Amino acid sequence: MKIFYIIFGENLGNHIEAYLSMTSFRRQLGEGDEVCVVTTHPEYYNNIDVTVIPIRNEQISEWESPHHYFWRVKIKAVEYMHQRYPNEHIIYLDTDTFLFGDLNVLRSRLNEGKSFMHLREGGPETYTGNGRKMWNMAKGKTFAGITLSESHAMWNAGVIGLPASKLEVVTKTALTICDGILDLMGSTHVIEQYSFSVALQELTDMTEAQHFIAHYWGNKPEWEQWMNNLIVKAYMTKTTVDDVLMQMPLEELCRVAPVYVRTPSTQKRLVKLVQKLFPQANHRYTTPATPATPATPPPTPPKGGEK
Q: Please answer whether residues 171 and 124 qualify as being in contact, where contact means their C-beta atoms are separated by less than 8 angstroms.
A: no
- Mean predicted lDDT score pLDDT of the chain: 89
pLDDT of residue 304: 61
pLDDT of residue 288: 78
Distance, in Å, from the CA atom of 251 to the CA atom of 254, rounded to the nearest integer, reads 5
pLDDT of residue 299: 73
pLDDT of residue 265: 74
Helical H segments across the chain, by residue range: 12-26, 57-64, 72-84, 103-111, 129-138, 167-185, 191-203, 220-236, 241-246, 250-254, 265-277
32: CB partners within 8 A, 6+ apart: 1
Distance, in Å, from the CA atom of 218 to the CA atom of 240, rounded to the nearest integer, reads 28
19: CB partners within 8 A, 6+ apart: 44, 45, 48, 231, 241
Question: What is the mean predicted confidence (pLDDT) over 267-271?
Answer: 77
Assess whether pLDDT exceeds 80 at residue 302: no
The closest of 36, 132, 43, 48 to 85, measured between CA atoms, is 36
Assess whether pLDDT exceeds 60 at residue 306: no
Greater model confidence, 125 or 257: 125
Q: Could you tell me the end-to-end alpha-carbon distance of the chain, in angstroms, rounded to an integer?
A: 95
Q: Please answer whether residues 5 and 18 qualify as being in contact, where contact means their C-beta atoms are separated by less than 8 angstroms.
A: yes
pLDDT of residue 244: 82
Confidence band (pLDDT; 50, 70, 90) for 220? Answer: confident
pLDDT in tens, 58-67: 999 999 988 8
* SS3 at position 260: strand
Assess whether pLDDT exceeds 90 at residue 121: yes
pLDDT of residue 9: 86
pLDDT of residue 274: 82
* SS3 at position 128: coil
Distance, in Å, from the CA atom of 302 to the CA atom of 215, rounded to the nearest integer, reads 85
Distance, in Å, from the CA atom of 42 to the CA atom of 223, rounded to the nearest integer, reads 24
Q: Please answer whether residues 218 and 261 qualify as being in contact, where contact means their C-beta atoms are separated by less than 8 angstroms.
A: yes
Question: What is the mean predicted confidence (pLDDT) over 134-153?
Answer: 95
Question: What is the mean predicted confidence (pLDDT) over 249-262?
Answer: 72
Confidence band (pLDDT; 50, 70, 90) for 292? Answer: low
Confidence band (pLDDT; 50, 70, 90) for 295? Answer: low
pLDDT in tens, 83-100: 999 999 999 999 999 999
